[in-house]
Amino acid sequence: MSVPPKEGRYCGACGTQAPKTDTDYTLISSVHGWRLLRNIGADGSIRMSWRCPTCFAKRRAQAIE
């Protein structure tokens, strides 16, 4: 499932909004468990997307199987 881009930080899989932070420089990955994924699109472009802890765990479990 792919969610269209929105203003701010959202999970690229489920659309959950990232937790509020004090500044744009707060690391939501280390503080809140969100992960930034890098994928290569069909056209060869690099695409970055955030994953919430739940969706990242599901993705990781599928990769291990």
pLDDT at residue 2, as a whole number: 54
Q: Is 37 left (phi over 0), alpha (psi -120 to 50) or beta?
A: beta
Determine the Cα–Cα distance for residues 7 and 33; give it in Å rounded to an integer. 20
Determine the Cα–Cα distance for residues 51 and 35; give it in Å rounded to an integer. 5
pLDDT at residue 27, as a whole number: 72
Q: What is the pLDDT of residues 19-33, one digit of tens each?
A: 888 877 777 878 888
pLDDT at residue 7, as a whole number: 62
Angle at 39 between CA 24 and CA 17, to 5 degrees: 40
How much is the pTM? 0.73
Q: What is the pLDDT of residues 24-62, one digit of tens each?
A: 777 787 888 899 999 999 999 999 999 999 999 999 999
Q: Is 23 left (phi over 0), alpha (psi -120 to 50) or beta?
A: beta
